[in-house]
Structure 1
Amino acid sequence: MIAETVCSAVSAAGLGIAVVTAYRKRFLTAARIAAYSLVPIGLVMTGVVEWLADTAFSPTAWAGFGVLGLSWMLFATTRAVERRRGGTRKERKAAKSAAQREAVAPAASAPSLAAGSRPSARPAGKPRAETATDDFSDIEAILKKHGI
């Protein structure tokens, strides 16, 4: 009963302030103040205030919030420990078995290349000066295309 009275008084005061603001020719601000001042009375009319008042003064509701907080804390703690360890037990076990399944020398089955037979990134007969010139010619072509 008291919560409804307080909300009604707040709405009435807000509407009074909105009227004074509108009298000063600040209509946009007055409309905004009126919108904010109608919220408490709307909450009273929908029954939200009564529900909140009943919940706020109920020991059972507060115990329920405490249980929810404890549950959240347990979830957060287990998640932090899981991250620190590097995943869940199943994920660690799967990673361990995958590491055991992998060959001792994974590249042993691939044909090895001799040091002299490695393919290089550029042909051996092309000197470095020409590649630099090619790079500049590409840049020149781009600049010419844009009229620079």
Structure 2
Amino acid sequence: MTDKRPGIAVIDGQGGGMGRALVEQIKREYPGVLIRALGTNAIATAAMMKAGAHDGATGENALILNAGKMDILIGPIGIAMANGLLGEVTPAMAAAVMASNAVKIFLPPQKKCEFHFANGDSQSLQSYIEEAMRILRAELAEQLR
């Protein structure tokens, strides 16, 4: 990013609930960090904007364009998979996420899906957000040095 402050893209789809919760917590802990909401649909983008993201954009082109410009990408694991989030993530979107040089922080799905994580017992969304924030804090401490 050309801006001196780290840029975090919160990426979400469907209703944007996970993204909204992430934006709220990031904004609360890091008010000086740029938070960009990237929604796979307008509802998700609107939810993240309402939560306090600095700016936002919706759809395939927006995600592809911005994924490579951000320092950190954070969202559900489905953003890294072609046809993820019930088909909202196109193959090009997933490729852009994975090709980005940004640090990537993925949260596991909250609904039953066709794959499993070998990370122990299922936890609440809040537990996963707390773990994602722990990872984000460590990354931002490194970038802000």
TM class, shorter-length = under 0.3
Greater percentage in helix = 1
Larger radius of gyration: 1
TM-score (norm 2): 0.21
TM-score by length of 1: 0.21
Highest RCO, 1 vs 2 (Cα 8 Å, sep ≥ 6): 2
Instruction: Judging by fraction of residues, say which structure has more strand.
Output: 2
